[in-house]
Structure 1
Amino acid sequence: MTKARQTRELFRLSPVVAGCTVLMMAGAHAQTAPAQQPQAQPQTLETVTVTGIRKGIEDAISAKKGSDSIIEAISAEDIGKLPDASVAESVSRLPGVASQRNKSTGKASSVSVRGMSPDFNGALLNGREQASSGDSRGVEFDLYPSELLASVLIYKSPDGALVGQGLASTIDLQTVRPLNFSSRQAAVNYRKQRTGVASGAGEGTGTRKSVSYIDQFADKTIGVAVGLVKFDEKGADQQKFNSWGGWTLPFAPSGGAGSPLLACDGPTPPAGCTTGVNKVNVMGGFTADTENSTATREGRMATLQWKPNKDFESTFDYFYSKGRFGLKKTGLEGAIGDDDNSAYDPRGQITNYTIANGVVASGTLSNYKGVVRNHFEGGDDSLKSWGWNNKLKLKDWTLLADISQSKVVRDSSRYETTAGQPGNGNKSAAGLGSISWTGFNGQNFTDVKYTTSLSYADRAIAKLTDVDGWSGGEGSPQAGYVALPHVQDKIDSFRLSGKTDLGWGPIVSGEFGINVTNREKIRQTQEGRLFIKGTDPYGATAVPGSDVAIAGTTGLQVVSWDPRGSLGSIYDLAKKVDSDILNKDWSVKEKVTTGYFKGDLDGDLGGLPYRGNVGLQMVHTDQSSTGFNVDRANCTGNTAATCPGATVAQGKTYTDILPSLNMNFDLGGDQVMRFAAAKVLSRANMNDMRASLGYTVNNTGVQILTGDGGNPKLNPFRAKAIDLSYEKYFGNKGYFSAAGFYKKLDSYILRVPTVFDFKPYTSAATPLPTTGPNKGSTVGLLNQPINGEGGNIHGMEFAINVPLNFVSSWLDGFGIMLNHSDTSSSVELPTSGFSVENVGTVKIPMPGLSKKVTNLRFYYEKAGFQIAVAQRHRSDFLGEVSDFQDNRQLTFIKGESIVDLQLSYEFQSGWLKGLSLLAQGNNMTNSEFQRYNTDRNVVTDKIKYGKTYLFGINYKL
Structure 2
Amino acid sequence: MLAGKPKLAYLPILVACNLGLALPVMAQEQTLQGEDAQVEVINVRGIKGSLIRSMDIKRGSANVVDAISAEDIGKFPDQNVAESLQRITGVSIDREGGEGQLVTVRGMGPEFNAVLLNGRMLATVGDPSSMSWEGTPGGRAFSFDILPTELINGAEVYKTQSGELQEGAIGATINITTMRPFDNKGFQAVASAKALYDEMTGKTKPQLSGVISNTFDDDKFGVLVSLASYQRESRYEEANTAYYFKVTDDLDGQNYGEIYFPRNYDQIVQSEDRERLSGTFVAQYAPTDNLTMTLDYMHSTYDVTGRQDIYPSWFTPGNVRNPVLDENNTLIYADFVDVYVESMARQSDASSSLDAYGFNAEWQATENWRMELDISASKAESDPGKGWSDVVVGRPGTFSYDRQQGQQVPTMTFDQLRPGDTLTAGWTSLQGTKLEDEVFGTKLDNRLYVEAGPLVEVKFGAHYSDRTLNKVYGETEGPLSWIYADNSVRVPLPDSLFDLFDADGFLSGASGSPVNQWPTFNTDEIMAYLSRDEVIALLDDPEAAKAVFSRNGFGIVPDQSAYEVNEEVLALYADFKLEGELGDMPWGLVAGMRYVDTQSTSSGQQIALLDLQPSQNEPNKVFAVYSDDYVPVEISNSYQDWLPSLNANINFTETLVGRGAISRSMTRPELNEMSPLTSYGDGQIDGLSGSGSNPLLAPYTSENLDLSLEWYYEEGSYAALAYFSKDIDGYLGTSVLPETLNLPSGSYKYEISRPVNENSTKVDGYEFAVQHMFTTLPEPFDGLGVIFNLTKVDSKSSEDNLPLIGLGDSQNLILFYEKDGFQLRLAYNNRSRFLQTKPVTTGSRQRDGHYVDDFAQLDISGSYDINENFTVFFEGINLTNELTVKSAEYANQTLQVIETGPRYALGVRAKF
Identify whether the pair has TM-score above 0.5, normalized to the shorter chain: yes
Give the Å deviation of 1:715.
Answer: 1.1
Q: Using the alignment, how far apart are the partners of 1:175 and 1:365 within structure 2?
A: 57
Max Rg structure: 1
Corresponding residue SS for 1:936: coil
Give the Å deviation of 1:436.
Answer: 4.0
Partner of 1:163: 166
Identity rate, percent: 24
Contact 1:709 1:783 survives alignment (8 Å): yes
Q: Using the alignment, how far apart are the partners of 2:227 and 2:714 within structure 1?
A: 35
Partner of 2:443: 495
1:384 to 350, 355, 379: 355
Contact 2:759 2:798 survives alignment (8 Å): no
Q: Using the alignment, how far apart are the partners of 1:584 and 1:58 within structure 2?
A: 56
Q: Using the alignment, how far apart are the partners of 2:381 and 2:206 within structure 1?
A: 25
Partner of 2:8: none
1:299–1:730 Cα change, 3 Å:
farther
Partner of 1:863: 820
Q: Using the alignment, how far apart are the partners of 2:611 and 2:680 within structure 1?
A: 10
- Corresponding position: 1:398 with 2:373: no
- Corresponding position: 1:411 with 2:383: yes
Once the two structures are superposed, the pairs formed by residues 478-877 of structure 1 within 5 Å of their partners are 479-528=427-476, 529=478, 530=480, 538-542=490-494, 547-550=499-502, 554-564=514-524, 570-571=530-531, 585-605=562-582, 607-630=584-607, 644-697=629-682, 699=684, 703-729=686-712, 733-759=716-742, 763-764=743-744, 777-806=747-776, 811-827=781-797, 829=799, 843-850=801-808, 852-877=809-834
1:484–1:13 Cα change, 3 Å:
closer
Q: Given residue 539 of structure 1, which amino acid in structure 2 is its aligned partner?
A: V
1:634–1:205 Cα change, 3 Å:
farther
1:124 to 106, 116, 120: 116
Partner of 2:238: 240
- Corresponding position: 1:217 with 2:189: no
- Corresponding position: 1:903 with 2:859: no
Give the Å deviation of 1:60.
Answer: 4.2
2:874 to 903, 914, 919: 919
Contact 2:595 2:643 survives alignment (8 Å): yes
Q: Given residue 861 of structure 1, which amino acid in structure 2 is its aligned partner?
A: E
Give the Å deviation of 1:605.
Answer: 3.6
Partner of 1:370: 341
Contact 1:588 1:690 survives alignment (8 Å): yes
Q: Given residue 725 of structure 1, which amino acid in structure 2 is its aligned partner?
A: S
Give the Å deviation of 1:897.
Answer: 0.5
Deviations for 1:324-347, whole angstroms, at most 9, x for unmatched residues? Answer: 1233111122235545xxxxxxx5
> How many equivalent pairs are there?
810
Contact 2:408 2:897 survives alignment (8 Å): no
Q: Given residue 399 of structure 2, which amino acid in structure 1 is its aligned partner?
A: I
1:433–1:621 Cα change, 3 Å:
closer
Partner of 2:130: none
Alpha carbon RMSD of aligned pairs, Å?
Answer: 3.6
Give the Å deviation of 1:628.
Answer: 3.8
Deviations for 1:602-624, whole angstroms, at most 9, x for unmatched residues? Answer: 22245422234221111111111
Corresponding residue SS for 2:409: helix
Contact 2:853 2:886 survives alignment (8 Å): yes
Q: Using the alignment, how far apart are the partners of 2:46 and 2:837 within structure 1?
A: 36
Deviates more, 1:187-196 or 1:622-631: 622-631
List runs of 5+ in structure 1 lacking aligned partners. Answer: 1-11, 15-48, 251-262, 340-346, 422-431, 467-478, 766-775, 831-842
Give the Å deviation of 1:575.
Answer: 6.9
Partner of 1:440: 403
Corresponding residue SS for 2:671: coil
Contact 2:194 2:906 survives alignment (8 Å): yes
Corresponding residue SS for 1:812: helix
Give the Å deviation of 1:600.
Answer: 2.3
Q: Using the alignment, how far apart are the partners of 2:498 and 2:237 within structure 1?
A: 21
Q: Using the alignment, how far apart are the partners of 2:404 and 2:601 within structure 1?
A: 53
Give the Å deviation of 1:405.
Answer: 0.5
1:13–1:531 Cα change, 3 Å:
closer
Deviations for 1:21-63, whole angstroms, at most 9, x for unmatched residues? Answer: xxxxxxxxxxxxxxxxxxxxxxxxxxxx984333543454455
Contact 1:93 1:872 survives alignment (8 Å): yes
* TM-score normalised to structure 2 length: 0.82
Contact 1:690 1:712 survives alignment (8 Å): yes
Deviates more, 1:552-561 or 1:304-313: 552-561
Q: Using the alignment, how far apart are the partners of 1:163 and 1:918 within structure 2?
A: 38
Partner of 1:954: 909
Deviations for 1:836-858, whole angstroms, at most 9, x for unmatched residues? Answer: xxxxxxx53211100x2100110
Q: Using the alignment, how far apart are the partners of 2:820 and 2:287 within structure 1?
A: 40
Contact 1:288 1:333 survives alignment (8 Å): yes
1:892 to 845, 851, 858: 851
Contact 1:69 1:612 survives alignment (8 Å): no
1:356–1:389 Cα change, 3 Å:
closer
Q: Using the alignment, how far apart are the partners of 2:703 and 2:405 within structure 1?
A: 46
Q: Using the alignment, how far apart are the partners of 1:162 and 1:101 within structure 2?
A: 28
2:92 to 80, 94, 98: 98
Partner of 1:333: 312
1:392–1:566 Cα change, 3 Å:
farther
1:249–1:617 Cα change, 3 Å:
closer
Q: Given residue 844 of structure 1, which amino acid in structure 2 is its aligned partner?
A: L
Deviations for 1:425-469, whole angstroms, at most 9, x for unmatched residues? Answer: xxxxxxx433245x53286572324344128xx9x8564512xxx
Q: Given residue 714 of structure 1, which amino acid in structure 2 is its aligned partner?
A: L
List runs of 5+ in structure 2 lacking aligned partners. Answer: 1-33, 37-42, 126-136, 508-513, 532-547, 614-624, 843-847
Contact 2:602 2:674 survives alignment (8 Å): yes
Q: Using the alignment, how far apart are the partners of 1:354 and 1:589 within structure 2?
A: 53
Q: Using the alignment, how far apart are the partners of 1:543 and 1:63 within structure 2?
A: 69
1:452–1:949 Cα change, 3 Å:
farther
Q: Using the alignment, how far apart are the partners of 2:891 and 2:332 within structure 1?
A: 21
Deviations for 1:169-215, whole angstroms, at most 9, x for unmatched residues? Answer: 10000012321224422221112122244xxxx44543211112222
Give the Å deviation of 1:671.
Answer: 3.6
Q: Using the alignment, how far apart are the partners of 1:789 and 1:349 within structure 2?
A: 43
Contact 1:132 1:140 survives alignment (8 Å): yes
Deviates more, 1:385-394 or 1:550-559: 550-559
Give the Å deviation of 1:587.
Answer: 0.8
Q: Given residue 688 of structure 2, which amino acid in structure 1 is its aligned partner?
A: L
Q: Using the alignment, how far apart are the partners of 1:758 and 1:576 within structure 2?
A: 38
Once the two structures are superposed, the pairs formed by residues 319-358 of structure 1 within 5 Å of their partners are 319-336=298-315, 338=317
Q: Using the alignment, how far apart are the partners of 2:161 and 2:261 within structure 1?
A: 54
1:495–1:781 Cα change, 3 Å:
same
Deviations for 1:594-650, whole angstroms, at most 9, x for unmatched residues? Answer: 1111222222245422234221111111111013444589999xxx99975432111
Corresponding residue SS for 1:927: coil
Contact 2:560 2:630 survives alignment (8 Å): no
Contact 2:761 2:796 survives alignment (8 Å): yes
1:307–1:696 Cα change, 3 Å:
same
Q: Given residue 849 of structure 1, which amino acid in structure 2 is its aligned partner?
A: L
Q: Using the alignment, how far apart are the partners of 2:336 and 2:522 within structure 1?
A: 31
Q: Using the alignment, how far apart are the partners of 2:406 and 2:741 within structure 1?
A: 45
Once the two structures are superposed, the pairs formed by residues 41-60 of structure 1 within 5 Å of their partners are 51-58=45-52, 60=54
* TM-score normalised to structure 1 length: 0.78
Partner of 2:291: 312
